[in-house]
Amino acid sequence: MARKPASLSRTLTVSLAALLFGFWTIAVLLGISIMRDEFDEVFDSGLQETTERLVPLVVDDLFRREAREEPYRVVDPRPDIHDQYLTYQVRDASGRVLLHSNNVSAEPYGAPLVPGFFRDGDRRIFTVATVSDSLFVQVADSLDHRREATLESALALLLPIMILLPLGMLAIWWIVSRATAPVARLGDAISERSGANMAPIEMADLPAELAAIPGSINTLLERLAATLQAERDLSANSAHELRTPLAGALAQTELLVAELDDSAARARAVQVQSALRRLSAMAEKLLQLARADAGIGTATEPSDLFALFDFVLEDFVRSHPTVEIEVTRDRPQEAVLLPIDPDAFGIAFKNLLENAVKYGAEARPIKVSALAERRISVVNVVEGRLDEDVEQYRQRYRRGRTNQPGSGLGLAIVHRLMAQMNGRLKLRSHVANDGAAVFEAVLDFA
């Protein structure tokens, strides 16, 4: 199955939205990285300042207490407040905890007794030495608090894009759709042009990038129309010019054959007569092929399919009174109007009938059917056998296993004309109950 081409506006909308989201994400990641460094500086500065302000208070509190082996724990003045991110300990030079805050255990911090910052697992610790380096005050800040602040800041940057991205996509789609609307209208106008419609493209509101295209296409359509018309005129004139002298020569030859009743030259005259008949048939097929190549199958006005069927069939029956034809009509009540050229249909249908008469078995009728499904079928029994691949008969100059004279162009002409009339030529073969080979050609307009 052929893949449907992507829409220009859809491609631009998705690409621009993805680009916008990618740039925004990169900006957020860079912002988070910068904010994290800045947050660390701010928190470290606050931790250091808090520690330095806390030192005289806790040292004074410690000296007011009596010395004992167990460390003192400072009572929590606000038990209702649970979000206490800072904890502290007062340790002596040996590392023993002398005093600690209520929200930390008596277990010593893992930080060494060295003034400055130290990271211990999920805590950031700042140490201050006091009383001649005999006491050390250590204040710890939870890193979870810092990560929470960074995460909330990142969400504050990401949430707007989650809301703005759909709105941005709608805005981009609206802008791109308006910008590409002339391209779509120009494409529709071009797609409507065919062998049946060569009207010039009139679009005055195109942007500068597209303004030159209709003029070039109109020039091409004018030249194409002139070329097709010249081919059609040549085919029509050639048909008239060739038929007349060939018909005259054939008539004179027939008279000559009649006059040379007992003459030795009569055999040569009969050969000339046969050659002229083959030449006339070949010229007729070549002219039909030229008309098919010129594109006569397309039409601007619709025609009734079954009315054309009756007209061509009646004309063929009058010109072939000895041919037995069985006709089956299964047509709808209303007329079936199709954009087909009457001459093109007549050539196609008549070629199928002539093919059935020429290659059909004697004393076997030709079966012609007009079905309501817009199908016209011609079935005949053939002498001998058919090739396994009957599709090859639609190729030019390809004939089956027969000694009958012919050009091998009939089905090729039908195939070409059916393609122009938006139909298909279907070829089938099967073996009848009596063992005879049956050939079927269908003009399918469904």
C-alpha distances in Å from residue 102, one per residue of 65, 70, 78: 16, 14, 11
Q: Is the dihedral of CA 416, 419, 423, 427 positive or negative?
A: positive
Residue indicated by tokens 């988070």: 32
Asked which of 89, 115, 149 is the last residue of a domain, the reply is 149
What's at 383, amino acid-wise?
E
In this structure, what token pair is assigned to residue 391?
């599709």
Instruction: Examine the domain organization and report whether 339 and 231 are in the same domain.
Output: no
Instruction: State whether 240 and 138 are in the same domain.
Output: no
Please give the average per-residue pLDDT across 211-225, as a whole number: 83
Structure confidence at residue 406 (pLDDT)? 58
Average pLDDT over residues 370-387: 81
| 154 occurs within a structural domain | no
Percent of the chain with pLDDT over 90: 0
Query: 21 vs 169, 170, 330, CA distance in Å?
Result: 10, 14, 63
Least confident of 272-276, 330-334, 389-393, 395-399: 395-399
- Average the pLDDT over 187-213 and give the result: 76
CATH code (residue 139): 3.30.450
Instruction: Verify that 355 and 408 share a domain, yes or no.
Output: yes
Residue 158 lies in a domain: no
pLDDT of residue 396: 67
Residue 239: pLDDT band with limits 50, 70, 90? low
If asked whether residues 307 and 275 sit together in one domain, one would say no
* Predicted local confidence at residue 236, as pLDDT: 62
Same domain membership, residue 280 and residue 302: no
Verify that 313 and 286 share a domain, yes or no.
Answer: no
303: pLDDT strictly greater than 80: yes
Per-residue pLDDT, averaged over 58-70, amounts to 76
8-64 vs 143-191: helix crossing angle, rounded to 10: 170
**Which residue, among 305, 309, 289, has the nearest Cα to 337 in the 3D structure?**
305
Q: In the predicted model, is pLDDT for residue 388 greater than 70? A: no
Average pLDDT, the chain: 79
d(CA 52, CA 243): 119
Q: What is the pLDDT of residue 3?
A: 61
26 and 113: one domain? yes
Give every CB contact of residue 53 below 8 A, 6+ residues apart in sequence.
none
Q: What is the pLDDT of residues 162-181, one digit of tens each?
A: 777 788 778 888 888 888 78
Is pLDDT at 434 greater than 80 in this prediction?
no
Q: Are residues 314 and 435 in the same domain?
A: yes
Residue numbers of the domain that contains 268: 193-295
> Of 5-9, 124-128, 314-318, 427-431, where does mean pLDDT reach its minimum?
5-9
446, 350: one domain: yes
Which of the four pLDDT bands, split at 50, 70 and 90, describes residue 431? confident
> Residue 194: pLDDT above 70?
no
In a domain, 176, yes or no: no
Residues 106 and 208 occupy one common structural domain: no
Task: Find the mean pLDDT for residues 315-332.
Answer: 84
Distance CA 421, CA 7 (A): 30
pLDDT at 157 over 80: no
pLDDT-derived band at 80, boundaries 50, 70, 90? low
pTM check: above 0.75: no
Q: Determine, yes or no, domain membership for 187.
A: no
Task: Examine the domain organization and report whether 127 and 199 are in the same domain.
Answer: no
- Give domain status of residue 43, yes or no: yes
Residue 163 lies in a domain: no
pLDDT at position 294 is 66
Give residue 430's pLDDT band: very low, low, confident or very high (50, 70, 90). confident
Residues 124-147 have a mean pLDDT of 85
Last residue of a domain, one of 235, 262, 295: 295
The mean pLDDT of 133-159, rounded to a whole number, is: 82
Our count of domains for the chain comes to 3
Phi first, then psi, for residue 336 (nearest 5°) are: -100, 100
Q: Which of 122, 102, 103 is nearest to 111 (CA)?
A: 122
Query: Is residue 179 a part of any domain in this protein?
Result: no
Evaluate if residue 231 carries a pLDDT over 50. yes
Question: Where residue 1 falls among pLDDT bands split at 50, 70, 90?
Answer: very low
pLDDT tens for each residue of 400-413 = 556 566 566 778 88
Do 277 and 340 share a structural domain? no
